[in-house]
Structure 1
Amino acid sequence: MTPEGRTLRLPRRGGTRIGRADLLDESLAAVLARPWRAALTTLGTVLGIATLVVTIGIAATAGNRIVGRFDQLTATAVTVVAAGTGAPQAPGEGPLIGWDAAERLARLNGTVAAVALAEAAPGTAPSVRANDIKDPSTVSARTLGVVAATVDLPAAAHGRVVAGRFFDVGNVARHDRVAVLGEEAARMLGIVRLEDSPAVFLGDEAFTVIGIVGDFRREQALAAAVIVPPTTAADRLGLTEVGRVVVDTELGAAGLVAAQAPTALNPGRTTEMRVIAPPDLQRARGAVEDDVNGMFLVLGLLCLVVGAVGIANVTLVGVMQRIGEIGLRRALGASRRHIAQQFLVESAVLGLIGGAIGAAVGVVTVVGVCVARDWTPVLDLTLVVAAPGAGVLVGLLAGAYPAWRAARLEPLEALRAT
């Protein structure tokens, strides 16, 4: 009987072998004999494994969430810029990008919507005012952006018509003098209602306001602009050349559309266009996850080291406290290998318990954080399943030195020390 009241399992077959069941039973009995010490010993391993599971889980979830928001804002946007806008054209050479750009790009697989834009160059935009009264004592004219656009602008720029309507193909075909104001431009001009068909003056030309658009998720500068049909802009304002085309694509199709867009717009002059496409999604996701992992992985490994040191320290103290038991075992026929196995298995059991509890705590933490934030949890099940094994490995490494110390004790010296 040991001092704790446990019955010793003696070696079988002339002291050459201890059964695995006996070894495991004796190790569990030794661990459970001091439950509070065992609990405190495994705490470091629990924290280390839980931190690793939480780190990988939160990193994957955050990466998925951030890239998901990135998808919504920019991953589906492709912009084609006409690099030679404003340059003199060669005889018989048409515009680099025509106003039929939206129709051309609509044929590409993955295109959702496209809008062709022509903007007045800085310093050349006409003054914008809400009435034709010229009062020298007040400043009634505003310097606002003037943009000619095709009819799919709200869809391509992810905007919303907040009042009235956007001009349609009929307005374009008839060269109607109509305008749509960005929400900020309408506020600056004092136009909040459209029932009386208010007008704005671009220079000396009057345009009937038929709608107000806002909530732009792309091309936010349009919120402070006056938007007119391309035919009217060419007739009245001299805006004839398309400066750029903004394309809204399906998720994952931006790269393909970006590669094919110049050829679809003008196959003979593709080198004169500059394409702005979003970066690769997988690369962005990997970068986000790597950044988050890099910040917290060191913390998880540090906790594991602390847990291993705790197991090693407590196991070494246990060896010192159980010198009499070790001497008695050696005197009754246990070999050095038997003693080393005994303490290694005890350390491994502590590591296994810590790894299993740590994995459970980590999973619950990740799920709890995701529920609180209304996120979709992303868990690496391989890591969760392997966590108890990692705990066993930590326990074995931590118990190696105490087991070696215990195995080196001579029976006579151990019995004298009691």
Structure 2
Amino acid sequence: MKSRFRDFRAEAQTRSIVPRSRLTLSDALVESLAGILQRPARSMLTALGTVLGVGSFVAILGLTATTSSQIDARFNVLSATEVIVEDVAQTRNEFAAPGFPADADRRIAGLSGVRNAGVYYGVRLPPGTTVSSSPIGADRDGERLDVVAASPGALRAAVPALDQGRLFDDYHSETRQRVAVLGVATAARLGITTVATHPAVFIGEEPFTVVGIIDDVERKADLLLSVVVPRTTAEEVFGPPRGSDAKMLIATELGAAHQIAELAPTALRPDHPDYLKAVAPADPKTLRTNVSSDLGQLFLVLAGICLIIGAVGIANTTLVAVLERTGEIGLRRALGARGRHISLQFLAESGALGALGGLVGTSLGSVTVVFVAVVREWTPVIHPLTVLAAPVIGLLTGVTAGLYPAWRASRIEPAEALRR
């Protein structure tokens, strides 16, 4: 009995001097590196999910910042230099005459900061009136096209790019010449390909000589689908505008739009400035902030979806690796490794894959932003915080994706694993 007690005490003392199993951080990193290099093809495919997720994250945020800067420039150049004045005379007084005087263009042109300005309106044609390029009396099927009456200043304020010919000018307007300018699409519909032969279009039975064809405009895109004639000619042939049809388009210098909007009604109608309503452009800073915020929220959701897809890929591949390495896990457990050591090993592997994918994804995302900006002739904008945070996001994604597989690995019993 005493002999057995001595043997038991000796065995207990022997157990007490055997060091407990430990796994340091450096050991975990070495083991994770060995596990990654042991299956390089699978490791690359596993990291690919994070590469795509983080790359999309960086590219989306970079492109959002880049496009926001372009929105800023676009608003400053166009929207912030455009003022629309509306005729509201008959809404104030049903017996009032039209709000715009005959010399409206000259009155506005006298204001400091105005580049070009002019009155325009859509001509209300009699029912059944069509537009054609065939002579009077010919058997022809006309087109249902919009006819816009515009003063020369309104046409210049639209900043047109001519395909051929010229725009009508103050002489045509003052002498009420029957001339017309066509958008390129309208000219194609009417079969007019050149102005060298002085073609004519017939609005109903009224002929108008085509003096120019517009290829593009920066403002008033509907002019490209219309037949544009001088305002004075339209009033003589078709009558004055009705109600609030007439409007004035004003192109201003940068920063002068709000001032012009305040002065325009008084400059046009000092006797009844309330007959005209000036619509100033929205504040570019506020509008840009709203648009950028909307774009940022939308693209962040898309980036989050990409990261979730990458995390699911890592979790799935890591779980498969756990099942395939059951024998290895059992042997390590039999040699003294604890469950948390196994968990730490797999978390280190998934974290390393995530960090590697984050670094590669950050590089690819940055290259994508620069490439798109160069192709579009933009200035690439990438916030430093995005570049610094992206690899960390990849690391966190990898660790998060490896939590469940690591837990599964730590629950494997040594005896059961060695029997497989």
Q: CA deviation at 1:115?
A: 1.4
Q: Distance in 2 between matches of 1:150 and 1:377?
A: 41
Matched AA of 1:351: G
Q: CA deviation at 1:245?
A: 0.8
1:314 aligned residue: 321
Q: Do the aligned residues in 1 keep the contact of 2:58 with 2:362 (CA within 8 Å)?
A: yes
Matched AA of 2:159: H
2:47 aligned residue: 42
> What does 1:16-35 align with in structure 2 at a 5 Å threshold?
20-35=25-40
1:327 aligned residue: 334
Q: CA deviation at 1:394?
A: 2.2
Matched AA of 1:228: P
Q: Distance in 2 between matches of 1:322 and 1:129?
A: 85
Q: Distance in 2 between matches of 1:130 and 1:46?
A: 60
Q: Distance in 1 between matches of 2:27 and 2:143?
A: 91
Change over 3 Å in CA distance of 1:83–1:216 after alignment to 2? farther
> What does 1:155-304 align with in structure 2 at a 5 Å threshold?
155-160=156-161, 162-164=164-166, 166-168=168-170, 175-183=174-182, 211-217=211-217, 218=220, 220-221=222-223, 224-225=226-227, 227-228=229-230, 230=232, 239=240, 243-249=246-252, 262=265, 265-266=268-269, 268-270=272-274, 273=277, 275=279, 280-284=287-291, 286-287=293-294, 297-304=304-311
Instruction: Pick which of 370-379 and 316-325 moved more.
Output: 370-379
TM-score, normalised with respect to structure 1: 0.66
Matched AA of 1:328: L
Q: Do the aligned residues in 1 keep the contact of 2:88 with 2:275 (CA within 8 Å)?
A: no
1:150 aligned residue: 151
1:345 aligned residue: 348
2:125 aligned residue: 122
Matched AA of 1:305: V
2:397 aligned residue: 394
SS at 2:46's partner residue?
helix
1:229-269 alpha-carbon deviations (Å, 9 max, x no partner): 64x66677754888111233567877776677556644754
Q: Distance in 1 between matches of 2:130 and 2:349?
A: 85
Change over 3 Å in CA distance of 1:256–1:401 after alignment to 2? farther
> What does 1:102-113 align with in structure 2 at a 5 Å threshold?
102-103=105-106, 105=108, 112-113=115-116
2:85 aligned residue: 80
SS at 1:322's partner residue?
helix
Matched AA of 1:46: V
Identical positions, percent:
32
Change over 3 Å in CA distance of 1:14–1:274 after alignment to 2? same
Unaligned residue ranges in structure 1 (runs of 5+): 1-12
TM-score, normalised with respect to structure 2: 0.65
Q: Do the aligned residues in 2 keep the contact of 1:127 with 1:141 (CA within 8 Å)?
A: yes
Change over 3 Å in CA distance of 1:103–1:289 after alignment to 2? farther
Matched AA of 1:47: L
> What does 1:367-406 align with in structure 2 at a 5 Å threshold?
367-368=370-371, 379=382, 381-404=384-407
Change over 3 Å in CA distance of 1:375–1:103 after alignment to 2? same
SS at 1:114's partner residue?
strand
Q: Distance in 1 between matches of 2:112 and 2:315?
A: 56
Q: Do the aligned residues in 2 keep the contact of 1:127 with 1:202 (CA within 8 Å)?
A: yes
Q: Distance in 2 between matches of 1:326 and 1:252?
A: 74
